Amino acid sequence: MQLIKLFLFLILFAVGLSAMAKKQQPQTGKIDDWEYNATMPAYNGKHARIMPTGVAVNARVGMPTPMLKSMRMSTAPDIGFAVGGAKDANNFYDNLKNGYLPKLKSITYEGVFYEHYFDTDKKSDTKCETLFCPAYATAVQKNLYTDETEYYLSVGLNSNIKASDFARKKLNLVVVLDISGSMSSPFNSYYYDKKRRRAPEENSEKSKMQIASESLAAMLRHLRPEDSLGVVLFDSRAYTAKPLRAVAQTDMEAIKKHILDLKPRGGTNWSAGYEAGLELFRKLDENAPDRGDYENRIIFMTDAMPNRGELRENGLFGMVDKAAKRGVYTSFIGIGVDFNTDLMERVSKTRGANYYAVHSLHDFKKRLDDEFDFMVTPLVFDLKLALDSDAYDIEAVYGSPEADKATKTVLYVNTLFPSATKEGKTKGGIIVVKLKRKGEGNALTLRASYKDRNGKTYNVSKKAAFKEGLYFDNSGIRKGILLSEYVTLIQNWLIDSRKGCNDKLTPETPVIIPFYRQCMRYPPERPEYKYIETWERRSCPLEVSDGYRNVFALFRRKFGDEMRALNDPSLHREYDALKLLSGYKKHKPASSGQDDWQTER
């Protein structure tokens, strides 16, 4: 009898807990459906099934589903495009600020481009009649170090979309939030440094967990009643914290409070967290109406230091790719200076994916105010640009995460997102292509093909030509070339500096070309490039060899001249970084007493 009473008590207790977790507010009728219980993992080890593209939550059956106009979009008359992948270089600058040697992919071409506005030569098109309208510009310049003639082509990423007409779809959003032990470390310190901690600076008084929670709470205010929200938490396991439910039915203030109360614990199992997020999409009603009016997105918030679960590319990477093919796209948001951008850059090459690094809570809130609707709305897919010319081949591509897929005649971009315009210029709205001259002639034909969200293919063919002498067609290509050279130099410095730090390069690669050529070599062509390790790592002290300090000083002078010629104060961030690096006090290398970049080869 006592056992029966105990059993009944446990049942009643469990029902009471469930009722408390989903308590209804008496005045609003909205539900606090927070379910997080750290002792009961939601992840059961089974692979999630994803519904077809555009499935909708069956919480508003029978209601109309209009396309909602954004209230926070640019007031410019039209919008442009920017590529997916990195949306900033914040992690790079945060590491410099705190005296750390940044990781290689903390700075990328597309990430730096997205911090700037470019003249995309939209006036060259008399009328843009298709979703995507590329505009081409050319330039010829002398190499700063070798005096060789260089040929460049820029692709302006223009659209026919008016800002007044832009409307994102209603959103099925699942946030997957990292609550692992590494999230307990200060925002400006490396978790694996253990006792090494930096002096207090902006955000350092808070842990990465606090910054992530506050950033998520700020993001939620951009959701509309017609949107739906689900939340998954993960450490060594995954937990469904909130089922996918319409915002209109949810007590959002209660959900924000639960999020702000979260505490870090345990290991890091990315795969479990992501798969639990997909499980929420699997539970959507297949018979829900108006599937085409919904956007499906996972926002994955982490410090990117997985030490549990599957780390192979066919693990998490494969899951993100398979989800994208079924219409569930992913955004990654990195938290802290030790956020592993090398790893994240790989993931963000996936269709419909992008990633951001939280630089400060204030800046992130402002970015959400300006760009949230753009962030969750990929519009152009599978862009291929074919070069038809007997005189030129593609030598390098700057501004696309898929640059490694480029051939002599074709470049590829998997996703374009809408982007703001200002005074006729587009934020991040450019791709720069370096061409290699192989024959006579100046003309070239460019054939662009791409798909829209419905899978319809479009083709656009245009001609371009090089002029005689040294010139830049417009300020957009001039600025794009300058920033491309900046990132190239920085990435080569990071590759060489990390030879004596945490990253072990296998095999060791001897220097066989002169230093002045090595430091401006297209980074993906370097043998060491593919051997830079990812995953967890301790910090490396910021070091600049004599050779690189001299090169930084030389390039800084050019950068300053170009900044004045362009009359563009937005370039000060890059200039200040070059000033810091060119004057940085030399430190004794960590691995040996030899500065192997002191003498030019």
Q: Which two tokens stand for residue 255?
A: 């959900």
E strand intervals along 289-429: 294-302, 328-335, 354-358, 380-388, 392-398, 410-419, 421-422, 425-427
Among the listed residues 18, 40, 39, 22, the one whose alpha carbon sits nearest the alpha carbon of residue 31 = 22
Strand (E) or helix (H) holding 153:
strand 149-162
Q: Tell me: pLDDT of 102 over 70.
A: yes
Q: Tell me: pLDDT of 459 over 80.
A: yes
CA–CA dist 264, 305 (Å, integer): 14
Greatest mean pLDDT among 44-58, 167-181, 277-291, 576-590 lies in 167-181
CA–CA dist 429, 74 (Å, integer): 15
List, for residues 346-404, the tens digit of each pLDDT value.
Answer: 777 889 999 999 888 888 998 899 899 999 999 999 999 999 999 999 999 999 998 88
Q: What pLDDT is stored for residue 539 in this prediction?
A: 84
Q: What pLDDT is stored for residue 309 in this prediction?
A: 54
Return the SS3 of 355.
Answer: strand
DSSP string, 208-268: HHHHHHHHHHHHHTT--TT-EEEEEEESSSEEEEEEEEEGGGB-HHHHHHHHHT----S--
Q: Which two tokens stand for residue 51?
A: 């519904």
Provide φ and ψ at 120, rounded to 5°. -100, 15
Q: What pLDDT is stored for residue 531 in this prediction?
A: 74
Higher per-residue pLDDT: 277 or 167: 277
Q: Could you give the C-alpha distances from 176 to 107, 272, 298, 300, 355, in angstroms and in order? A: 25, 10, 7, 5, 14
* Eight-class DSSP state of 398: E
Greatest mean pLDDT among 59-63, 169-173, 494-498 lies in 169-173
Task: Please count the other Cβ atoms lying within 10 Å of the Cβ belonging to residue 239.
Answer: 23
Q: Looking at 230-234, 358-362, 374-378, 466-470, which range is the least confident one?
A: 358-362
* Eight-class DSSP state of 599: S
List, for residues 523-558, the tens digit of each pLDDT value.
Answer: 988 888 877 766 566 788 999 988 899 999 999 999
Q: What pLDDT is stored for residue 150 in this prediction?
A: 96
Task: Give the side-chain half-sphere CA count within 13 A for 353.
Answer: 26
Q: Tell me: pLDDT of 442 over 60.
A: yes
Return the SS3 of 436.
Answer: strand
For residues 139 and 481, is the Cβ–Cβ distance under 8 A?
Answer: yes
Return the SS3 of 33.
Answer: coil
Higher per-residue pLDDT: 193 or 100: 100
Q: How confident is the model at residue 42 (pLDDT cuts 50, 70, 90)?
A: very low
Total residues belonging to the chain: 601
Q: Which two tokens stand for residue 150?
A: 């260089």
Q: What pLDDT is stored for residue 509 in this prediction?
A: 53
Among the listed residues 75, 92, 91, 118, the one whose alpha carbon sits nearest the alpha carbon of residue 428 = 118
* Eight-class DSSP state of 126: S
List, for residues 15-37, the tens digit of each pLDDT value.
Answer: 444 444 455 555 567 899 999 86
Q: Kindly state the average pLDDT of the residues 46-51.
A: 41
Higher per-residue pLDDT: 163 or 332: 332
Give the chain's radius of gyration (CA, Å).
Answer: 25
Q: Could you give the C-alpha distances from 286 to 54, 283, 408, in angstroms and in order? A: 10, 9, 45
Q: What pLDDT is stored for residue 385 in this prediction?
A: 95
Q: What percent of the chain has pLDDT over 70?
A: 77
Among the listed residues 331, 227, 296, the one whose alpha carbon sits nearest the alpha carbon of residue 52 = 296
Q: What's the count of helices (H) and strands (E) in the chain, helices before strands? A: 13, 22
User: What domains are there in the chain, each with its CATH number?
Assistant: 30-60+166-336+352-375 (3.40.50.410)
Q: Which two tokens stand for residue 201?
A: 């600076």
How confident is the prediction for the chain on average, in pLDDT? 82
For residues 288 and 228, is the Cβ–Cβ distance under 8 A?
Answer: no
Q: What pLDDT is stored for residue 121 in this prediction?
A: 83
Task: Please count the other Cβ atoms lying within 10 Å of the Cβ belonging to residue 122.
Answer: 20
* Eight-class DSSP state of 198: P
Among the listed residues 488, 480, 476, the one whose alpha carbon sits nearest the alpha carbon of residue 552 = 488
In one letter, which amino acid is 566? Answer: L
Q: Which two tokens stand for residue 225?
A: 């009643």
CA–CA dist 122, 53 (Å, integer): 33
